[in-house]
Structure 1
Amino acid sequence: MLSDYLSSYFNYLSIEKGLSKNTISAYRRDLIRFENYLIIVKKELKTLSEVDFPLYLA
């Protein structure tokens, strides 16, 4: 699931992009919330379509 990719992504943001710890923490919170939403609606990241994102944001 999404969490499989997050560690590498956050390392990239820190090392390659030089983002602050606060920015990375905010991104982490947002992505964890999104992952929890995917679990609730029983969807996988690879099966999402453009319709799913407005439903999450609503």
Structure 2
Amino acid sequence: MIQQTELAITTSISVASIVPALGINSNLLIEQADTALYQAKDMGRNKVCQYSNLTTQPHTL
């Protein structure tokens, strides 16, 4: 007999975007996405956070 096991999967997702300009590189985009990801994780499971350069804090979508 095959035993069935229930498996729960959760995800935290970050979204970031930048407008290309002089002095802005890909590292900034990665840092912003990382900030939003940790914000999503801190808020609990199954969250999506978007980093906005208009504010200093990521917000939940």
Q: Tell me the TM-score normalized by structure 1.
A: 0.42
Greater helix proportion: 1
Q: Which structure has the bigger radius of gyration?
A: 2
Q: TM-score, normalised by structure 2?
A: 0.40
